[in-house]
């Protein structure tokens, strides 16, 4: 049991019998009106279900097998098929009226607007793909993308995918060491960045951070820089090139053949933190991933041509990859992408844009909802939010109080909330309501069609309804990660070794008598801060890289708005004295190495860290102690 289970338990208890039946207006025209019949059909024949969905998209040549499970857990989907996700995101729409439809509306923090039709987006992507080719980027090469939330970010991702290069996007809020580690592990040849990014009225010095990271990473031959802030930046002759200069060259032609890829060819890698050690590169592929994200966005958020979809995540994390960049384009939707913070300069920013663009579906993280809730109802109430028809939540458990506020104040009790549980590794929604499903505040309801999940004990046996246990997935799904790039053993070890045949999510959960799942939190060394996924190991190694520090342990403690906040326990080297100044220096050091989101809220100097006899830090004990809760079973504690 997690120390915070008790808190979550009370929330679940209060909301378990609070049922919100589906809204008849929403269901009447929804893609899926009857959950049971499709679920039954998909359970009986998951491969048939996914193959039918795959046929809604275009393939260069068909598969000869939907699922190959002969080398478990290295599952392969749509085996033998040829495809390219970008063909379905862009090229396909050039043959229809959607060519002239808006694909992307972008608004900056300052209120500047840029829009791209499918035609325009396709042209930009093709031009940039030609630029990449001219710089020697080929199928299979890795490209690191480290940018703010600007349209050139999805353009760069799509251009890579179009020519078969593997993109590795590093969240623009990360800093030097985090960026360096990811460039080095991926052995990227090329990096794409911006001269800076605007966030919360300030400038994030992306290029400067990139320069510093590259001093530590020798593989990168060139850096392409998008001008965003217009500030003077260092441009290294022979290495650094301006995006706008390159896009003005004759080589940046608007026609570019989309590379024919195998369904199982890599599309991208995305680093994420897990248990122990450095972050791992989760690998997704062109074929199955495309089918999974297309189907889930279409069914769960009921996407139609009339919709205006807004996924308010950051493209640098999986939510943005799947549901800002790829899936909306696969569905032919119009999306909004917003550069900045929800509260800058005022907490009206989001509601203003919902009204201005007639947003019909808003998908956001609980941390943002809680943050906006703090400012009161008057802010949203000033705007006409009647265009909204569906809401969504992702990234961490949503507490029933925030759920009810979102439902009542934003959705005016008309808009069902799709609380989607999933992970970087799953690629797509896994446990999620559909508009036709009755909701309970804080539950993701049931697994998506064709997916089987369960809650099990230490031995892998299902627990009783209402009991807490490990959340596992029992069957393969098309958008599942294929491996950890460069480390297949770790893939097997991390996800498939605790219970052979079951995929270990790293989450603790419970199931109620209606079969609804309730997520409690991470049981491993992952901390979710404002929905962002961080590893204790990375924070600790940033601390230890500071000369005065001998050992460190980081934990996440429950926080009202951010979900969790970081506390770090630090053991100094002999001769070093603890002080408030040193604590502040260490916080800044973590910020410099890892990024502002990883900065511990508090640094606590200790003489000893609780460890098991085998030397593993018992973070659970630190956490219980900090929360003033019972410390649980201490039999493995060293002394």
Which chain residues interact with ligand WTA by CB under 6 A? 272, 317-319, 393-397, 419-424, 444, 505-507, 519, 522, 528, 533
Nearer to ligand WTA, 13 or 139 (CB): 13
Report, in Å, the least distance between residue 74 CB and ligand WTA: 21
Return the number of other C-beta atoms located less than 10 Å from residue 340's C-beta. 20
Beta carbon nearer to ligand WTA, 258 or 445? 445
Q: Reduced to 3 states, what is the DSSP secondary structure of residue 597? A: helix
Closest to ligand WTA by CB, 527 or 617: 527
Q: What's the CA gap between 530 and 319, in Å, rounded? A: 14
Please count the other Cβ atoms lying within 10 Å of the Cβ belonging to residue 110.
11
Q: Please, which residue, 118 or 449, has the CB nearer to ligand WTA?
A: 449
Whats the size of the chain, residue-wise?
639
* Residue among 225 and 372 whose Cβ is closer to ligand WTA: 372
Q: In Å, how far from its chain's centre is CA 628?
A: 32
Query: 285 exposed, middle or buried (CB, 10 Å; 0-12, 13-18, 19+)?
Result: buried
Count the Cβ atoms, other than its own, within 10 Å of residue 404.
18
Provide the minimum distance between the beta carbon of 167 and ligand WTA in the complex, in angstroms, as a whole number: 17
The residue (of 273 and 348) whose beta carbon lies closer to ligand WTA is: 273
Query: Of the two residues 528 and 619, which places its CB atom closer to ligand WTA in the complex?
Result: 528
CB atoms within 10 A of CB 216: 13
CB of 502 to ligand WTA, least distance (A): 15
φ, ψ of residue 222 in degrees (nearest 5) = -140, 155
Gap between the Cα atoms of 496 and 472, Å rounded: 10
Q: What is the distance between the alpha carbons of residues 183 and 194, in angstroms, rounded to a whole number?
A: 16
Nearer to ligand WTA, 124 or 396 (CB): 396
Which residue, 196 or 442, has its beta carbon nearer to ligand WTA? 442
Q: Closest by alpha carbon to 325, among 267, 367, 251, 365?
A: 267
3-state secondary structure labels for all residues of 324-387: HHHHHHHCCCEEEEECCCCCCCCCCHHHHHHHHHCCCEEEECHHHHHHHHCCCCHHHHCCCCCC
d(CA 369, CA 255): 42
CB nearer to ligand WTA: pick between 93 and 510: 510
Alpha helices in 76-151 (DSSP H): 85-89, 118-134
Concatenated DSSP letters for 501-516? TSEEEEEEEEE-TTS-
Cα angle 199, 205, 211 (rounded to 5 degrees) comes to 150
Instruction: Report, in Å, the least distance between residue 481 CB and ligand WTA.
Output: 10
The candidate with the shortest Cα–Cα distance to 257, out of 98, 119, 133, is 133
Helix, strand, or coil here: 154?
helix
Q: Which is nearer to ligand WTA, 130 or 319 (CB)?
A: 319
- In angstroms, what is the minimal distance from the CB of 41 to ligand WTA? 25
Q: What is the closest distance, in whole angstroms, from the C-beta atom of residue 627 to ligand WTA in the complex?
A: 19
Shortest distance in whole angstroms from residue 47 CB to ligand WTA: 25
Alpha-carbon distance of 300 to 629, in angstroms, equals: 39
Q: How far is the CB of 296 from ligand WTA (least distance, A)?
A: 12
Q: Report, in Å, the least distance between residue 600 CB and ligand WTA.
A: 20
Cα 394 to Cα 100: distance, rounded to the nearest angstrom: 31
Could you check whether the bond before residue 443 is cis, i.e. omega within 30 degrees of 0?
no
Residue nearest to ligand WTA (CB): 424
Residue with smaller CB distance to ligand WTA, 121 or 481: 481
| DSSP annotation string for 156-178 | HHHHHHHHT-EEEE--TT--HHH
For ligand WTA, the closer of residues 246 and 293 by Cβ is: 293
The minimum distance between CB 394 and ligand WTA, in angstroms, equals: 5
Element (H, E) at 246: helix 243-247
Joined tokens for residue 276: 């122990």
Residue 397 or 610: which CB sits closer to ligand WTA?
397
Work out how close the CB of 624 gets to ligand WTA at its nearest, in angstroms, rounded to a whole number.
Answer: 20
Contact by Cβ (8 Å): 194, 203 = no
Closest approach, Cβ 475 to ligand WTA, in A, equals 18
Q: Report the nearest approach of ligand WTA to the CB of residue 315 (Å).
A: 13
Query: Residue 495 — φ and ψ, nearest 5°?
Result: -110, -25
3-state secondary structure of 421: strand
For ligand WTA, the closer of residues 402 and 571 by Cβ is 402
Per the CB < 8 A criterion, the answer to whether 316 and 170 are in contact is yes
- Strand stretches in 235-355, DSSP E: 240-242, 261-262, 266-272, 280-285, 308-311, 334-338
Q: Quote the least distance from Cβ 419 to ligand WTA, whole Å.
A: 5
Least separation in angstroms between CB 519 and ligand WTA = 4
CB closer to ligand WTA, 272 vs 536: 272
> Least distance to ligand WTA from the beta carbon of 223, Å?
27
Alpha-carbon torsion angle 199, 201, 207, 212, nearest 10: -90
Six-digit token string for 7 = 């808190």
């Amino acid at each position: 049991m997690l120390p915070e289970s008790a808190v979550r338990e009370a929330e679940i208890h209060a909301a378990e019998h609070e049922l919100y039946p589906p809204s008849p207006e929403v269901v009447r025209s929804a893609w899926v009106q009857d959950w049971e019949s499709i679920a039954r059909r998909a359970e009986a024949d998951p491969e048939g279900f996914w193959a039918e969905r795959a046929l809604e998209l275009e393939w260069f040549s068909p598969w000869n097998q939907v699922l190959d499970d002969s080398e478990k857990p290295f599952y392969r989907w749509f085996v033998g098929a040829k495809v390219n996700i970008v063909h379905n995101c862009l090229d396909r729409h050039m043959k229809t009226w959607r060519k002239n439809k808006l694909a992307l509306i972008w608004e900056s923090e300052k209120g500047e607007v840029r829009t791209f039709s499918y035609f325009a987006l396709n042209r930009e992507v093709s031009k940039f793909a030609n630029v990449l080719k001219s710089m020697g980027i080929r199928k299979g090469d890795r490209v690191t993308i480290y940018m703010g939330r600007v349209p050139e970010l999805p353009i760069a991702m799509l251009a890579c995918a179009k020519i078969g290069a593997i993109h590795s996007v590093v969240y623009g809020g990360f800093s030097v060491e985090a960026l360096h580690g990811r460039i080095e592990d991926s052995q990227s040849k090329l990096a794409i960045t911006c001269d800076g990014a605007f966030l919360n009225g300030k400038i994030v010095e992306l290029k400067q951070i990139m320069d510093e990271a590259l001093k530590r990473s020798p593989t990168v031959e060139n850096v392409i820089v998008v001008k965003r802030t217009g500030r003077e930046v260092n441009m290294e002759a022979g290495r650094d090139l301006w995006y706008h200069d390159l896009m003005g060259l004759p080589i940046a032609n608007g026609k570019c053949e989309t590379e024919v890829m195998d369904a199982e060819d890599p599309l991208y890698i995305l680093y994420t933190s897990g248990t122990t050690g450095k972050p791992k590169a989760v690998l997704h592929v062109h074929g199955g991933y495309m089918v999974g994200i297309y189907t889930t966005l279409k069914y769960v958020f009921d996407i139609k041509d009339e919709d205006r979809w807004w996924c308010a995540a950051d493209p640098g994390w999986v939510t943005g990859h799947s549901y800002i960049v790829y899936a909306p384009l696969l569905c032919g939707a119009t999306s909004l992408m917003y550069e900045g913070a929800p509260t800058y300069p005022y907490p009206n920013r989001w509601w203003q844009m919902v009204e201005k663009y007639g947003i019909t579906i808003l998908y956001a993280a609980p941390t943002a909802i809680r943050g906006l809730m703090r400012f009161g109802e008057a802010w949203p109430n000033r705007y006409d939010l009647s265009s909204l028809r569906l809401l969504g939540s992702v990234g961490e458990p949503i507490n029933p109080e925030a759920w009810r506020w979102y439902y009542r104040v934003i959705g005016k009790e008309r808009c069902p909330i799709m609380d989607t549980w999933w992970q970087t590794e799953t690629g797509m929604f896994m446990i999620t309501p559909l508009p036709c499903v009755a909701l309970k505040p804080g539950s993701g309801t049931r697994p998506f069609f064709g997916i089987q999940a369960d809650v099990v004990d230490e031995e892998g046996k299902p627990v009783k309804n209402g009991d807490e246990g490990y959340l596992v997935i029992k069957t393969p799904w098309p958008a599942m990660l294929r491996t950890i790039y460069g480390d297949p053993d770790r893939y097997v070890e991390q996800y498939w070794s605790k219970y052979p045949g079951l995929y270990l999510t790293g989450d603790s959960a419970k199931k109620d008598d209606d079969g609804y799942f309730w997520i409690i939190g991470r049981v491993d060394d992952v901390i979710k801060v404002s929905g962002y996924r961080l590893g204790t190991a990375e924070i600790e190694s940033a601390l230890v890289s500071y000369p005065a520090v001998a050992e460190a342990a980081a934990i996440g403690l429950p926080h009202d708005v951010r979900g969790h906040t970081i506390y770090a326990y630090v053991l100094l080297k002999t001769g070093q004295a603890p002080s408030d100044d040193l604590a502040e220096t260490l916080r800044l050091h973590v910020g410099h190495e890892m990024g502002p989101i990883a900065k511990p809220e508090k640094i606590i100097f200790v003489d000893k860290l609780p460890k098991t006899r085998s030397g593993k830090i018992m973070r659970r004990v630190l956490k219980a102690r900090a929360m003033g809760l019972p410390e649980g079973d201490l039999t493995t504690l060293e002394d």
